[in-house]
Structure 1
Amino acid sequence: MGKLEGKKVFITGAEQGIGFHTAKCLTEAGCDIYLHYFSGTEGPEQLVELATSLGRRAAFGPADLTKKDEAETCVANAAEFLGGMDVLVNNVGGIIARKWLGEIEPEFWQTVIDVNMTTMLNVTQAALPHLKQAEEGASIVNLASLAGRSGGHSGSLVYSMTKGAVLTWSRSLAAELGEFGIRVNAVAPGLILGTRFHNQHTTKESADETVRGIPLGRAGTSEDVARTITFLASEYDGFITGATIDVNGGVYRM
């Protein structure tokens, strides 16, 4: 595993939950970091304070990453602040709402695709020239979901489809970018409580039912996922690429 001291990281959606804790973990591992946010600066402000206390560099900036020009500007600001880019964490995503097949309108369909896939396209395209210049190789980590593996719960049809696409995107991109020394991997979290996603879209009854089916007998935390992402980020010069790491307590085993 490579050392992350001094590595330059850009992470999307760092306001709360998995994004926040991943940024925290990477900062504590010695990275300099640029934090994208869409709504709310409290989390990024805390992370900048942490980085400063550890002698690291951190800054943050807003963008609607579904818009190509805003994504390009945010990535350019990150690369300028960091002086390059070694690690990209594509964390932005969301279910938007639970809708069953008969309730899905074209606008909703496109919105979920844009939030979970177009953001990843826009950011990764903009970051590619900087990642290619990373002297020891680079690492891209994409956030998928257990829903992309198993199909998810009822009402998550479009979300599950996009997260399955993220897994395929990661495998295909690993083949395409390998010649540049860029590793591409995905993380597929299961039930991770304490995030905006589950606070808004998962009832306590549903969570309790899901936990009963998890071999480890508990829900996951954002820190569980953050540690996994940090490991994959450290593989900027490693031999792991095109892989998906499942973080779900054993409910899905492959």
Structure 2
Amino acid sequence: MGSLKNKKVFITGAEQGIGYETAKALIESGCDVFAHYFSGTEGVEELVKLAESRGQKASFGFANLINESDALACVNDAAEFLGGIDIVINNVGGIIARKWLGEIESDYWQTVFDVNMTTMKNVTQSALPYLKENTEGASIVNLASLAGRSGGHSGSLTYSMTKGAVLTWTRSLAAELGEFGIRVNAVAPGLILGTRFHDQHTTKESAEETVRGIPLGRAGTSEDVAKAITYLASEYNGFVSGATLDINGGVYRM
């Protein structure tokens, strides 16, 4: 793996869960970080303290990333603070609510698409000029989901569709940006407990049933996902691009 020391990271949704643990791991690997948040500053404030205790830089900013101008302003603030951007982690996403086909309204459909795909488009498009400036290559890591591979549980039809789109977006973008030395990869987590997503949308009974079908016999953690993202980020000058790392304890195997 390449050294992450002094690499400049913009990460979305870093206030809790996978985003927080990923930002923490990247700081501990030597990165300077700008953490986007949407709800609550406690987590991102902790990240700033961690970075400063190590003699590194970190800051944070609020944005509604569905809004193109908000996303652009946040990315520009990050680039100004960091002195550029080497790595983008597109972590923001969510199921919003479980709805079956007969219950899906147009507004709900559009909201789920915007949260999971429009945010990713806006951030990546805004960061592209900064990523292209890297002579050593740059890295983008997108958060997909096991649901995008397998179709997910009942009631996650719209969410699963968007996460499948993230997988295709990742492959297509890897082809498009390769000439600039920009690698694009994704991670597809399975059941990751302790996150806002599963706290709100997964019952204890459902989680226990899912765990029984996982070969490793446990649910994943945000730290498990952060390790994989850190690997993909650290291969900033490597040969891995257009790939998806499945982080699910062996429940989905290709």
* TM-score normalised by L of structure 2: 1.00
- Partner of 1:24, secondary structure, is helix
CA separation in 1, counterparts of 2:56 and 2:232?
Answer: 20
1:222-249 Cα distance to aligned partner (Å, 9 max, x none)? 0000000000001110000000000000
Deviation string for 1:7-46 (max 9, x for gaps)? 0000000010000000000000000000000010000000
| Counterparts of 2:135 and 2:220, CA distance in 1 | 35
Looking at structure 2, the residues matched to 31 and 56 of structure 1 have their Cα atoms a distance apart, in angstroms, of 7
Q: Which residue of 2 aligns with 1:161?
A: 161
The Cα offsets for residues 148-187 of structure 1, whole Å up to 9 and x where unpaired, read as 0000000000000000000000000000000000000000
Describe how 1:152-191 pairs up with structure 2 within 5 A.
Answer: 152-191=152-191
Structure 2 letter corresponding to 1:217? G
Who is 1:222 aligned against? 222
What is the CA–CA distance in structure 2 between the aligned matches of 1:126 and 1:138, rounded to whole Å? 14
Alpha-carbon offset, residue 135 of structure 1: 2.4
Cα distance in 2 between the residues matched to 1:163 and 1:207: 20
Distance 1:152 1:120 in 2: 21
- Give, in whole Å, the separation in 2 of the partners of 1:235 and 1:60: 25
Q: Which residue of 1 aligns with 2:238?
A: 238
**What is the rounded CA distance, in whole Å, between the counterparts of 2:215 and 2:62 in structure 1?**
39
Q: Which runs of 5+ in 2 are unaligned?
A: none
Rounded to whole Å, the distance in 2 between the matches of 1:116 and 1:2 is 29
User: Secondary structure of the residue that 1:232 maps to in structure 2?
Assistant: helix
2:245 aligns to what SS in structure 1? Answer: strand
How many residues are paired up? Answer: 254
Structure 1 residue runs of 5 or longer lacking an equivalent are none
Matched ranges for 1:107-146 at <5 A: 107-146=107-146
Q: Secondary structure at the match of 2:185?
A: strand
Calculate the TM-score normalised by the size of structure 1: 1.00
Two-structure CA RMSD over aligned residues (Å): 0.3
Within 2, Cα distance between the matches of 1:133 and 1:43?
30
CA distance in 2, matches of 1:179, 1:234: 19
Give the structure 1 partner of residue 97 of structure 2.
Answer: 97
The whole-number CA distance in structure 2 between the counterparts of 1:134 and 1:24 is: 23
For residues 248 and 52 of structure 2, the distance between their equivalents in structure 1, rounded to whole angstroms, comes to: 33
| Partner of residue 210, structure 2 | 210
Structure 1 match to 2:253: 253
Question: Which residue is equivalent to 1:84?
Answer: 84
Aligned partner of residue 141 in structure 2, secondary structure: strand
Runs of 4+ in 1 over 6 A off after TM superposition: none
Q: Distance in 1 between matches of 2:178 and 2:88?
A: 15
